[in-house]
Amino acid sequence: MENVANVVPPQRRDLPVAADYALTVRGLLALPSLAGAEVAAGAAGLDTVVRWVNVMEVPDILPWVKPNELLLTTGFPLRHGGQGGTFDPSVVARLVDGLAERGVSALGVKTGRYLDELPPDMLDTAERHGFPVLVLPRGVAFDEVMSEVFTQLVDRQTWALDVADRLHRTLTALVLGGGDLPQIAAEVAALFDTAVLICSPDGRVQTTGGAEANSAALAALPLFDPSGRFRTEQVHAGLQDAPDATGGQLAVARVIAGGTDHGLIAAYGPNGGLGPVTVQALERAATVAALAITKQLAVSAVESKFRGDFLRDALNGVAGPPELVTEHCAQLGWDVDRPLAVIVARLDESSGPASVAGRTPMDRLTAAWEQVLRARDRAVPVVGFTHELVALVPAEPESVQRTVAELVSSVAGDRGGGRRSFSTGVSRVIGSIADLAAAYEQAGTAVRVGRRTHGPGAVAHFDGLGVHRVLSLVSDPGELRAFAAEVLGPLGADTPDALDLRGTLQELLDRNCNVAETARSLHFHYNTLRYRITKLETMIGPFTSDANLRLDVALALRVVQMRGL
C-alpha cells in the first residue's frame, strides 16, 4: 500500500502506555496478603504467569489442576496423602512432580497445625523443576489471597480491553482521515515496541513498521522465502514462539472483512513479552486494516477498470496514434517510451476451486505480478483481464530472457498460499509503442504454443518457438493430428515401445542421421542402433535417404509434442 501524502501524523498520546499485562508468581508476592510469604524452593520459576487460583483440599488433586494455576493448601492434604492416610514424603515429592508437569504456576502451603515444615524431598523436587513452593504466613486466610489475586487478574484484563478499544478507535480515526496500512503498522509497532508486518493471504508483504532493529530482526527470521514472501503457512493466529531460538514471540491476527480473507497482521517481539494483550489489540488492528484494504480495493477497482479498458484498446491497436497513446500512458503513471517486451500470463487448467475466500485465482495472480513488478519499477503497466494478465516490461533483447525468468520465479515463489500454476508468453522487444499490437499477438502466440509444447507452467519466448510457431497457424487441430498419424503410423501411439522408438528417431534427426554419433549419445551398441533404424524404416519409410520424408517426419514429431490438439 502507498503512503497518503496528506495524512496527518498519528497522535500517539491518545494511545495507552504499554504495561506489564501478565501476573507472575513474583508479582503475587507483592500483594498485601502474601507480603510475608517465603520462597522455600523453585525460585527459578518466579516469572511464571498466573491466570487462575484454586485451593487444594484433597491429596489426589492432579486430575483437576490447570496450567498457570496458583494452588493454595494447608498441610492437611500433604500430611494424609500416603497409604492409609499416613504421611509419606515421597508421595509429596511425586505430587510436586505432577504439578510441575501439568504447568501449575506455584504451590502455596500454610504450615503449622498439620505440618510444621516441608519435607526435604519435596523441596529438592521443586528446585529441580524450577517450581515455586511458597510458605504462606500462618495468619493468612485463603479467601483473602484469592480475592486479591482475582482482583489483579480482572484489573489486567480490563486494562487489556482498554488498550484494544482505544487502539481500535485511534486507528479507525486514522483510516477515516486518509491513513493507510503503513500508518496502521507504525501505530501498532510503536505501542508494543515490536516490528509489525501486514501481508496478503499468500504472504506478499504489503507493508512493515517498527524500529529499525526490530524490523531487521523480523526480516532475519526463517519465515521468508527467497522471493520475499512471508510463509503464512508456517504461522497461526494467536501468540506463538518465533522460530529463532532466541526467545522471540509472534502475535498473529487474520485480516478478514465480509468473509473475505485479506491476509494477516503479525507483530514480532525479538525479546518476547508480548502476551495476550498484544493479540487482543492486534485483532482490533486487523479489523481496521481490513477497512483500509477494502477502501483501497474499491478505489483500485475503478482505476483498474479505466486503465484496463485503455490498455486493451492499445493492445488491439485502436487507442489512437502512438504519440497519443504514450501521452495517455504517462498520465496513468506508465512509462512506455522505452524498449519493452509484452508478457502475457495465463492460468493453467486446475481442478482447484474457482476462487479462494472471495478472491479469484486471476485476482491473486494479478496482485502477485503487480507487487513484484512495482518493486522493480512503478511505471510498468500491469493489468489483469478476465483470462490473462498483460505486462509491458522494460527490457533489452540481450537480457529479456534473464529478466523474465527472474520475474516468473519471484511471482511463483514457492507456490505458497494456494497460488495456481500459470504459463507465460513473451514477445520480441519493441522500440516503439507503434509495434505494441503486434507484440501482444506474439506474446499470446508464445503462451499458447509454449503450453502445448511444454505443458503447464511453460515460459515461452516468441523467437524461441521455431517451427511450432508455423504449426500453431494451422486453424484445424484435426488436420495436424491426421498429418502426424499419416506420417508416423503406429509410431505415433502413446505406448511405451512407440515412445522409446520416437526418442531414438528424434535423436537421429537431431544428429543428421549420423549413426556413430547417435549410438554414442544414446549409449547403444552400433549394431543395436542399426537394428532400430531398420525397424523404424519398416514403419515409416526410408527416412535416412529421403530428405523430403525426413522433413515430414521431423514436422510430425513436433506435432506429437504439441499438447491439447
pLDDT exceeds 70 at position 20? no
Q: How far apart are CA 30 and CA 560, in angstroms?
A: 82
The answer to whether residues 218 and 224 touch, using CB atoms and an 8 Å cutoff, is no
pLDDT exceeds 90 at position 392? yes
Helical H runs in 242-341?
275-315, 322-331
Domain ranges for the chain: 38-136, 164-296, 316-470, 477-561
Pairing of strands 459-461, 422-426: parallel
Q: Phi/psi at 73 (nearest 5 deg)?
A: -160, 160
Q: Which CATH number fits domain 164-296: 3.30.450.40, 3.40.1190.20, 3.40.50.1970, 1.10.240.10?
A: 3.30.450.40
Buried b (16+ CB within 10 A) or exposed e, 229-246: bbbbeebeeebbebebee
Pick from 410, 329, 416, 331: which is nearest to 375 by CA?
410
pLDDT exceeds 50 at position 18? no
**Domain 477-561: CATH class, spelled out:** mainly alpha
Query: What type of residue sits at position 191?
Result: L
Homologous superfamily (CATH) of 38-136 is HprK N-terminal domain-like (3.40.1390.20)
What pLDDT does 39 receive? 93
pLDDT exceeds 80 at position 311? yes
Q: What is the pLDDT of residues 345-364, one digit of tens each?
A: 999 876 455 555 456 788 88
Q: Which has more confidence, 41 or 412? A: 41
Instruction: Look at the alpha carbons of 310, 315, 316, 320 in this order and tell me if their dihedral is positive or negative.
Output: positive
What pLDDT does 482 receive? 86
Give the cell for residue 288: 481496521
- Mean pLDDT check: name the lowest of 71-85, 173-187, 329-343: 71-85
What pLDDT does 424 receive? 94
- % of the chain surpassing 70 pLDDT: 89
Q: How far apart are CA 341 and CA 272, in angstroms?
A: 48
Average pLDDT rounded to a whole number, residues 206-231: 89
- Mean pLDDT check: name the lowest of 78-87, 124-133, 303-312, 388-397: 78-87
pLDDT confidence band for 564 (50 / 70 / 90): low
pLDDT exceeds 60 at position 16? no
pLDDT exceeds 60 at position 22? yes
Give the cell for residue 66: 490447570
pLDDT confidence band for 1 (50 / 70 / 90): very low
Residue 210: exposed, middle, or buried by beta-carbon count in 10 A (0-12, 13-18, 19+)?
Answer: buried
What pLDDT does 414 receive? 46
What pLDDT does 354 receive? 54
Q: Which has more confidence, 503 or 167? A: 503
Q: How far apart are CA 229 and CA 377, in angstroms?
A: 18
Residue 84: exposed, middle, or buried by beta-carbon count in 10 A (0-12, 13-18, 19+)?
Answer: exposed
* Domain 316-470 sits in CATH 3.20.20.80: no
Length of the chain: 565
Q: What is the pLDDT of residues 82-103, one digit of tens each?
A: 555 566 788 888 999 999 999 9
pLDDT averaged over the chain? 83
CA distances from 545 to 511, 515, 542 (A): 14, 13, 6
Give the cell for residue 449: 504454443
What pLDDT does 166 receive? 74
Q: Which has more confidence, 294 or 96? A: 96
Average pLDDT rounded to a whole number, residues 368-393: 90
3-state SS class at 399: coil
Pick from 349, 346, 419, 352: which is nearest to 387 by CA?
346
Of 117-131, 236-250, 443-457, give the range with the top mean pLDDT: 117-131
pLDDT exceeds 80 at position 391? yes
3-state SS class at 209: strand
What pLDDT does 563 receive? 58
Q: Which has more confidence, 258 or 268? A: 268
Average pLDDT rounded to a whole number, residues 61-81: 85
CA distances from 158 to 29, 153, 310 (A): 22, 9, 55
Q: How many CB atoms lie within 10 A of CB 382?
A: 22
CA distances from 542 to 500, 533, 538 (A): 19, 9, 8
- Mean pLDDT check: name the lowest of 272-286, 465-479, 487-501, 521-535: 465-479
Count H helices, E strands: the chain? 18, 15
Q: Phi/psi at 131 (nearest 5 deg)?
A: -105, 110
Q: How far apart are CA 402 and CA 396, in angstroms?
A: 10
Query: What type of residue sits at position 249?
Result: Q
Pick from 41, 247, 248: which is nearest to 126 by CA?
41
3-state SS class at 31: coil
